Every structure is written in structure tokens, then in C-alpha cells.
Amino acid sequence: WLRSQPWCNGEVGMMGISWGGFNALQTAALQPEGLNAIITLCSTDDRFADDIHYSGGCLLNENHGWGATMLSYSSRPPDPALVGERWRDMWLERLENQPLLIDEWLSHQARDGYWRHGSVCEDFSRIKAPTLAVGGWGDAYSNAIPRLLEGLSSPRKAIIGPWVHKYPHFAVPEPRIGFLQEALRWWDRWLKGLNTGVEDDPDLRVYMMDGVRPATWFTERPGAWHAIEHYPPRTQPTQAFTLSPARLNAADVTPAPAPSPDDGRRTIAITSPQHCGINGGEYCAIWLGPDWPGDQRDDDAASTSFETPPLTQELALLGAAELTAMVSADQPFALLAARLCHVHPDGASTRMTYDVKNLRHRGNPARPEVIVPGEEMRIALKFDDIAYRIPAGHRLRLSLSTTYWPLIWPSPHNATLTLNLETARLSLPLASACDASDKVTFPPPRSAPPQRLAITREASHRRHTKTDQATGSVSIEIEDDFGLFEDLDTGIISEEIAREVQTIHPDDPLSASMTTHWTQVRRRGAWQTRTEARTAMNADATTFYIRASVEAFEGERKIHEKTWDRRVPREHV
């Protein structure tokens, strides 16, 4: 259709962020005639391993959170100014037929055809269109970019900044860049045939972040842009570490003294309270609230940790760290969470990167394996990619835990893992592949004029952790108030408020629960609508229980209500 329009020269480009980025990749893999270039931002090539549903075979709570968001978004009415008097019938049809996505996603607990469909990593060679991949270290989708660079054979380039899940010309934390100008260079080359120099750009332009103190939000991150001319690098040195009780030992350094007979010697036990991970922040920072991981000291104390002495020189990392080891579990379900933290001289702990692994998914994620209690298993964890500098005099800490709430849903049992220290090895990718920062320059950020709004109530975002002193349960309460405002061009007055509560008892994985409540208001003059969407989930050892409802109001009159009550077997999580 686009190619047939009189204003189109027959050359089409596709660009989008998040879903739009997924769609650009998936459409390119279908090779429609005339799609000659794409720009994909904050997207994934792998819908099972690296989306908001599962990670390492562990169930992400974002599966529930985003499903609840979509339940609310899909409940909003059409605008009568666009569709006329049929708006109400259209709205009721939409409300009656919208799906409960939480249930659908939770019903696929292994890498089956549901996830392979739409995962372009299944066959990168299907993407022929030149591809510019863009993302940020504060986003959940940055891992896809190195995989795209390595897997695509079509012309491809990439940019990774310090940003969260936003376009780079208005994202935080700063520095922002002139992304629209970069996009125009890409389109002019591949859609118009102009020589804009994009083919001479480094394969990867990446922002190396300086080590900073932990904070739940950043407006800027100190650091510098660097260039990697060829990605993956032809050679990249690594630094290996072995593990001994409480110690990370550089492989080229004399290890710590042999442990005494009463400290475990060749093995060490790992078991964690269920609220370990409470300072992990959001899986994907998107609403611009206090969503980054905070000081990790409490979570480190709830974990089994290994730490270097103060570093004698700066340690600069670029890429994905890896941890391999032999472990055994005392339960038929178990998981392992691993964090790499930058420890400051005063003890403050900044999470740099992490990974989680459902030990039933230790091999092929399409075919989860049983865990035989007491039997050793080989596990391999690949941490999220990162570009980060730890100053000399600071420490590197590896923290291992058997839970990571509320980022992931807990295993049904309080598991204890036994780690074979003699087999454990941590490998860090060193940043010597980076070229000097003066090879990367961007124009200043530019954008269209902002939406014209009359704001009655400013947006606000809060996140509180509470402990019930009577029961010992720990809760995180989140409220994202997107404000009350009028669009001065359309006259629509909008109000959105999202509330989320995640609760668990430190001693009981089956106490885990999550609830959400979204309010959506749209009105213009006499036209007034509101929806209230609620979800809740808990589980026992064999079953997930999901409850949801949507109420729709015209004025103050309820015109529709739909409820769901679903049970999903726990097959692999």
C-alpha cells in the first residue's frame, strides 16, 4: 500500500521502539518487497529468553505487570470525534472480547512455538534490510543489540547509550543525542541512495559508564562515548576469577589461603530469604520513576557473596560476564540469581549487571529437565551486557542467591544449593576493544514541538517498601500517577493512575502475591468515560491462580463488567 502511493518512491523504511522495534525486525524477516531499511529501538530478537515474560527460564513478574497494563490500555474507548455515534458499540465490543494476556503468556513456560514465532534469532539470515539497532544500558533490551550485530549479515550498525526505555533524543539519563539526525542519515542512505557516511560508522558506538554510587534514579550518568570498529571484536581479552569462601580470586593472582575444615572447603551452601532482591528495582525502567536498583547491601547480606580485595587499577568492562559451575539442589525446583556489584570504599554497593537461571532450564530451554536432589548439574550464566568502569581502590563483588523477588517469581520450595567451588569460574570481558572516545560524536538532540497540554495535576511516581511487624511479610507498593491534563489540540482530558503491590514472607515462597489496579479516565464535555482494571496472582506448589476484572463507566453509570478466574499449572517454574 505504501509503495503504491503517489508520494512514495517505492522505497520504504520502518522504525519503532519496544513493540514497534519488535515489529520492524519481524516484518523485515518476512522480506516484503520495498522494505529497504529498518531502525529498531529497545527491542528483542528473542521473545522467550529476552522479553518481559521469562529470563533464564524464570518467570518475570513483569509478565503480570505488563499484562495488567495492556488489560487497562485495551479497555479505553474510541474517540467519538473520530468514529461518531458508534463509539459506544465499538467500545462494548472491545471490552467483551479483550483477552487476558497474563493467562496466555503464563501458559507457555518453555521455549515452544509460541515464543519462537516472532523471535528473529531463529534465523537471522531472513533479515536482508539494513538495520540500525539502538538501545540503552538502563533498558531491559540492550542484550539484543550485540546479538543482532553478530547474527545479521545485512548492513548493520548499533548505538547503546546510558538510557532507559525511551528514544535517545529525550531519554534519561543524559547525555542525549541527536537521534533524529542519525535516523535521517540512515534513511537518506538506504531509501534515497545518498552518500551520508553511515557505512563508515563504527559497528558499535557505545557509552562507557563511569562507576557511580547506587541510586534509584539518575538524571545523568558520567562516562564517555567509545567506538568499536568491528563487532564482535576480533579479539577481546578476559579476566578470569576463581571462587573461595568470601573471596573472588583473579586467576593470575595467588589464591586466598586454603579454607579451614569448618568453612565448607570445596563446597559452599547458598540459601536466601524470599525477599532477597527487594532492592533490585524494575525489570524495565519505562515510567521515569524511582525504578533503578538501589543500594545492594541488604540484598548482598541475604546472599552468598564473593569479593575481590581493593582493585590495584581501574577495571573497565564491555560485554557479557559469564559464570560457570557445578551445583546441586535439595529440591526438585530451584533457581540461582547472580549479581555483579561495584563496592565502594564505604561499603555502598552498586549493581552493575545480573542474571537469573531456573535450574530446570539449565540446558535446552525448549526441553526443561528435572532436578534430581543431590545430583550435581553444570550451570552457565551469562550476565546482561554492560559497559562500566570500576575505579582503582574499589572492589568487585559476586552475590549469589536462591531467590530474586520481586523481579522473578520464587520457586515453590525453599531450596538450598550446594556450589562446588573448585568448578566455579567467573569470566569478565575487558574493554580494551574500545577505541578512543573522540571517534564518536553526535549532533545535539532535536525534536518536534511538544504536545500542547493544560496540566491540572502533575505526574508523580512513588515506590515504598514496607515490613508488617506483626506478620513479617514484606511488600513493595508502587503508584504511578500520570497526572490529569487536557490535550489542547483534541480537547480530550486524560487521567491515568497505576497501582501495584508485591508481597512475600521471607520464609515462605508460596506467600508470594501480586496485585494491580489501573484507572483510566477520558472525557470531553458531556462525553465522560472511566475504566477500572484489576488483576491478582498467587500460587501454590502446583498451580498459579489469576483473577482479573474490568469495569467500564459512562459518566457514573457502569455499562460493562467482565471477570476472569484462571488456573495455570506450574509445569517448569
Q: pLDDT tens, position by position, for the chain (573 residues)?
A: 999 999 999 999 999 999 999 999 999 999 999 999 999 999 999 999 999 999 999 999 999 999 999 999 999 999 999 999 999 999 999 999 999 999 999 999 999 999 999 999 999 999 999 999 999 999 999 999 999 999 999 999 999 999 999 999 999 999 999 999 999 999 999 999 999 999 999 999 999 999 999 999 999 999 999 999 999 988 889 999 999 999 999 986 444 444 444 444 599 999 999 999 999 999 998 887 889 999 999 999 999 999 999 999 999 999 999 999 999 999 999 999 999 999 999 999 999 999 999 999 999 999 999 999 999 999 999 999 999 999 999 999 999 999 999 999 999 999 999 999 999 999 999 998 676 677 799 999 999 999 999 999 999 999 999 999 999 999 999 999 999 999 999 999 999 999 999 999 999 999 999 999 999 999 999 999 999 999 999 999 999 999 999 999 999 999 999 999 999 999 999
Residues ≥6 apart with Cβ < 8 Å to 211: 342, 350, 388, 389, 390, 391, 394
Note whether 336 and 402 are within 8 A (CB). yes
Provide the 3-class DSSP secondary structure of residue 101.
helix
| pTM score above 0.85 | yes
Phi-psi region of 166 (alpha: psi -120 to 50; beta: other; left: phi over 0): beta
Sign of CA pseudo-dihedral 280, 282, 285, 289 = negative
Q: What is the pLDDT of residue 262?
A: 41
CA pair distance 488, 410, nearest whole angstrom? 46
Grid coordinates belonging to 183 = 535516523
Provide the 3-class DSSP secondary structure of residue 200.
helix
Grid coordinates belonging to 444 = 545535539
Provide the 3-class DSSP secondary structure of residue 104.
helix
CA pair distance 551, 563, nearest whole angstrom? 9
Phi-psi region of 555 (alpha: psi -120 to 50; beta: other; left: phi over 0): left
CA pair distance 390, 316, nearest whole angstrom? 6
Q: What is the pLDDT of residue 255?
A: 43
Grid coordinates belonging to 343 = 563496592
DSSP 279: T
Residue 193, phi then psi, degrees to nearest 5: 80, 15
**Strands, E assignment, 246-303:** 247-250, 267-270
Grid coordinates belonging to 165 = 526505555
Phi-psi region of 34 (alpha: psi -120 to 50; beta: other; left: phi over 0): left
- Look at residues 531, 557, 551 and name the one whose alpha carbon lies nearest to residue 73: 531
Residues ≥6 apart with Cβ < 8 Å to 161: 135, 136, 137, 168, 171, 175, 177, 207
CA pair distance 477, 502, nearest whole angstrom? 7
| Run of H or E residues at 519 | strand 508-524
Residues ≥6 apart with Cβ < 8 Å to 372: none
Q: Which residues of 179-209 are buried (b: 16+ CB within 10 A; e: fewer)?
A: bbebbebbbebbbeeeebebeebbbbbbbbb
